[in-house]
Amino acid sequence: MKRTDFKLDKMKNKCIGILTSGGDASGMNATIRAVTRAAIYNGFQVKGIYRGYEGLIAGEVKELTTEDVSSIIQRGGTILKTARSEAFTTPEGRKKAYDVLRKEGISSLIIIGGDGSLTGARIFANEYDDIICIGLPGTIDNDLYGTDFTIGYDTALNTIVECVDKIRDTATSHDRIFFVEVMGRDAGFLAQNSAIASGAEAAIIPEDRTDVDQLEKFIGRGFRKTKNSSIVIVTESPKDKNGGAMYYAERVKKEYPQYDVRVSILGHLQRGGAPSAYDRILGSRLGEAAIQALLEDQRNVMIGIRNNEIVYVPFAEAIKNDKPLDKSLIRVLGELSI
């Protein structure tokens, strides 16, 4: 018997649960489709768990067939719905979740989500080692360590660029400075790369916090020498810190009253819309790889992509480390926005 035949035989009739958790991201549906179809192809049964860990605790589980995931690859959001679960952060909540999995006969759990969702998976996997947990990086923030890209990031980036192109038209007509706020939680991937892609004059990101205030750097460059309007992309600020587009706009209004300033907060439109081709392919590859990982007896890992190759990243590594932003991107934007 070949190794893979043996594995297939061993895993036959095993049941996999799949859920999406935390903020939705375009490409999650492509991932659900890939997991479901690759699982069925390899002889597993698949059950969809609705509303993330919340729905798991409440027992919202339904078998998925290949037909259930037809015609979803092109759709944003998640057909399984999602939630941020307080209950799953408690031992009692996780015990209820475990009981549901046992009752449903689910022995492996695939979690599509970001940092918080994989943190939950890690804690759960440590407590209940008879459930195999596999994570898939699904978040627009691109902030998971160990993977070059997360599912949903590329689509969100393209959405931002499309919006900034439009804002640029009105900024130019009125000779205004626009502070455009984008999502990203504590990470500047969306802000920095959308700034480069849209030809913005500056990006204010958490990774570039130094002694010299980023706003001062931007003003100090004398941006008015060659341009009458400007776009500054700003990462949303953590709730407890100064920052965000409003904060910088107010400061400019006070400190440089000669400038005409406006703010645009892109908000949740960044999370919606049809996934880009890249996110569809990424979701398909990572989803299929999750099933391969189960066949290879992997557990408690996030499936990532590095240098275009599938990698297994232990949960602890994916969550614990801050994903570094390539600092040369700061230089690129600086040199090209003169």
Can you tell me which of 93, 108, 110, 141 binds ligand F6P, judged by CB under 6 A? Answer: 141
C-beta of 208 vs 236, nearer to ligand F6P: 236
Closer residue to ligand F6P, CB minimum distance, 26 or 284: 26
Q: Give the chain's count of helices (H) and strands (E).
A: 12, 11
Give the containing element (helix H, strand E) for 109.
Answer: strand 106-113
**CB 135: neighbour CB atoms within 10 A?**
32
**By the rule CB under 6 A, 140 interacts with ligand F6P:** yes
Q: Is 279 labeled as catalytic in the residue annotation?
A: no
* Least distance between ligand F6P and beta carbon 14 (Å): 31
Provide the mask over 208-237, with x wherever binding to ligand F6P is found by CB under 6 A and - wherever it is not: ----------------------------x-
Query: With the C-alpha atoms ordered 252, 257, 260, 262, is the resulting torsion angle positive or negative?
Result: positive
Q: Is 94 a binder of ligand F6P (CB under 6 A)?
A: no
Q: How far is the CB of 115 from ligand F6P (least distance, A)?
A: 8
- Residue type, position 176, single letter: R
Residue among 73, 17, 7 nearest 45 (CA): 17
- Choose the catalytic residue: 141, 143, 154, 208: 141
34 binds ligand F6P (CB under 6 A): no
Any contact of residue 185 with ligand F6P (CB under 6 A)?
A: yes
Go through 26-43 and write b for each residue having 16 or more CB atoms within 10 A of its CB, e for each that does not.
bbbbbbbbbbbbbbbebe
- Binding of residue 183 to ligand F6P (CB under 6 A): yes
Counting contacts by CB under 6 A, is residue 188 touching ligand F6P?
no
What's the helix, strand, coil split of the chain in %, to 5? 45, 20, 35
Region from 97-105, 183-191, 256-264, 326-334 binding ligand F6P, contact rule CB under 6 A? 183-191
Cα dihedral across residues 182, 188, 193, 195: positive or negative: positive
**Residue 305 makes contact with ligand F6P by CB under 6 A:** no
Please pick, from the candidates 31, 36, 139, 235, the single residue that binds ligand F6P as defined by CB under 6 A. 139
Give the binding range for ligand F6P (CB under 6 A) out of 29-37, 64-72, 181-189, 242-250.
181-189
Q: Could you give the CA distance from residue 303 to residue 290 in angstroms, rounded to a whole number?
A: 7
Among residues 76, 114, 188, 206, the one that binds ligand F6P under rule CB under 6 A: 114
CB 85 within 8 A of CB 55: no
3-state secondary structure of 48: strand
List the catalytic residues. Answer: 141
Q: Which residues bind ligand F6P (CB under 6 A)?
A: 23, 84, 114, 139-141, 183-185, 236, 271
